[in-house]
Amino acid sequence: MAAEVDRRRVLITGASRGIGRGVAHSLAEAGFDLVLNYRSDKAAAERVLAEVRELGVHASLLPFDVGDRHAAAEALAADLEEHGAFFGAVLNAGVNRDAAFPSLSEDSWDEVLRTNLDGFYNVLRPLVMPMVRARRGGRIVTLSSIAGLTGNRGQVNYAASKAGLIGATKSLALELAKRQITVNCVAPGWIDTEMLGDADRESLAKGVPLQRLGTPEDVGAYVAFLFSEGASYVTGQVVSVNGGLA
């Protein structure tokens, strides 16, 4: 059961499933109050909401599409007006639309960049100044990918968006460091979520030095560390959670 002291709110985007759900559990176990963002699957988001509330934290839902600048600004402004500044944010929402580059459609390029990279601006732009004015520091964590570090065949759009997140994260970390707001990036490897689609999970696991796929909980645990006091001197970093992949 989480302690009832020093309540600190954290927004998690894309919190209804996969890595977002793992992050929500880990941060709830660490005692943070949560605002769970989702785009369309309300039933799944409500299940995560019930799960984290059972861990003793305050939690609520905040539906909006991170790729829709107006919708994000409207939803966040209303929340900030009612509840005040967030202590932190985890930018997890993301999509993939894989195809070899010659057959990559305009819509597939635009949707992935709009969600994965524009979402950084759309979500954090409304949150940063309230965090600064609160004068209590804070934590921001973005979710990139091994594809953003090494590239991946069939994922030019996805890799571009995730590499862009790394650059944005490092730059924002420099801007916010004097405010004691840390900004870091986690780059997962092969994590066993629905984003893997029909991929051969057994074959993928054989290529990982630890000989298994990662879990949402593996990623969530590291995000929770970045929110801890023990990580207060860590900022502008990209950490791979990938089982030892080069």
> Would you say 222 and 239 are in contact if contact means Cβ atoms under 8 Å apart?
yes
Dihedral of the CA atoms 60, 65, 68, 69 (nearest 10)?
20
Residue 158 among the catalytic residues: yes
Q: Catalytic one among 38, 121, 158, 222?
A: 158
Residue whose pair of structure tokens reads 């730059």 in the numeric block? 171
Residue-by-residue DSSP string for 99-166: --GGG--HHHHHHHHHHHTHHHHHHHHHHHHHHHHHTS-EEEEEE--HHHHH--TT-HHHHHHHHHHH
According to DSSP, the residues that pair with 90 across neighbouring strands are 12, 141
Which residues are annotated as catalytic? 158
